[in-house]
Amino acid sequence: MQIGIFALSAIVSLTASVLLVSRIERVGERLGLSEALLGLIAALAADGPEITSAVTAIAGGHGTIGVGVALGSNVFNLAALLGLSALIAGRIGLHRRSIVLEGGLGVLIALLSLAVVSGVVGPLLGLLLAFVAFLPYVIFSALRPAIRLRVSLPLRWSEWLVLALAEEESELAIAIRPRRGDGRDVAVAAVALITVLAASVAMEEAATSFGGQAGLAPIIVGGLILAAVTSLPNAVAAVYLASRGRGAAMLSTAFNSNALNVIVGLLIPAAILGLGAPSQDTGFVALFYVGLTAWAVALALRGRGLDRRSGSIIIVAYLVFVAVLATR
């Protein structure tokens, strides 16, 4: 019974998530949002299932499952969005500025998640530090290109950031390119959002229930089962972008999705509700997330992109992650 509820909830949640992304993109186009900000909002909408599942688990006192969903999804994202995309596309060319900007921020957010999960810093401090790192990026992304150079930064910094975002936006504009939305799109987005939230809550509760009945460790339920299922929309989107040669857009999708999972799915609920005592299981997931993020960035920098070899390395690393968790 619980497996059937889980499967149905997953299908409904993922389908509604795809619909939500498409309608939000149309509304964003109507509002004249920059391509970079539109990509961020689309990533947040696509992250709806994993964020809701993680928050539901933490709110229900299942901190291990919540951490597993939030950070396990990020490990899966690296394997699917970067590794699998490179394997399918053959080679994904990436601009060095994009790798440094997105990858550097991605590593920093991953380190903050490790610090919080391991108990080195409290959730509230971790959240504040994450905001300090991520909000300037969001604000700068929201500005139109002509305005970005006027921001009070050293000239070389402004020029570098403008170029990095311009390289991404040149691909996002082609990859997303939604039509202008109207009131109907707003209504559909609202209904889709409610559906995603309700279905994701049901999915997490069903997974927790049948996981307990089957004797599965909470970290397996969160870090493997829920993490993989809830991340499927992002994986499909990344493969699509990579197959069309949109490397910078794919990289931005991967790291923005991971950052939002950490901030919205882990740090905010942990700061409000608490996270419980650190454990070896959650510490392992967080540490692996940091290591694989740094490794993926290093591979991309070394090869000015990702090819089948580097993509295979990332996928093999994920399989090691699965094998270790499966023994818990």
pLDDT at residue number 323: 94
Distance CA 325, CA 328 (A): 5
Tally of CB atoms within 10 A around 63: 24
Q: Is 72 left (phi over 0), alpha (psi -120 to 50) or beta?
A: alpha
pLDDT at residue number 314: 94
- The sign of the torsion formed by the CA atoms of 209, 210, 215, 220 equals negative
Give yes or no for a contact between 161 and 148, defined as CB atoms under 8 angstroms apart.
Answer: yes
Which candidate, 256, 194, 230, 275, places its Cα nearest to that of 73?
230
Structure tokens at 235: 């994986």
Q: Domains plus CATH for the chain?
A: 2-326 (1.20.1420.30)
Give yes or no for a contact between 55 and 212, defined as CB atoms under 8 angstroms apart.
Answer: no
Output the pTM of the full model.
Answer: 0.85
* Burial class of 5 by CB neighbour count within 10 A (0 to 12, 13 to 18, 19+): middle
Structure tokens at 155: 């000239």
Regions of the chain short of the pLDDT cut 70:
1, 18, 21-22, 24-25, 27-39, 42, 144-182, 236-249
Write the pLDDT tens digit of every residue in 209-239.
877 787 888 898 888 888 888 887 777 666 6
176: three-class secondary structure by DSSP: coil
pLDDT at residue number 107: 96
Q: How far is CA 269 from the centre of its chain?
A: 16
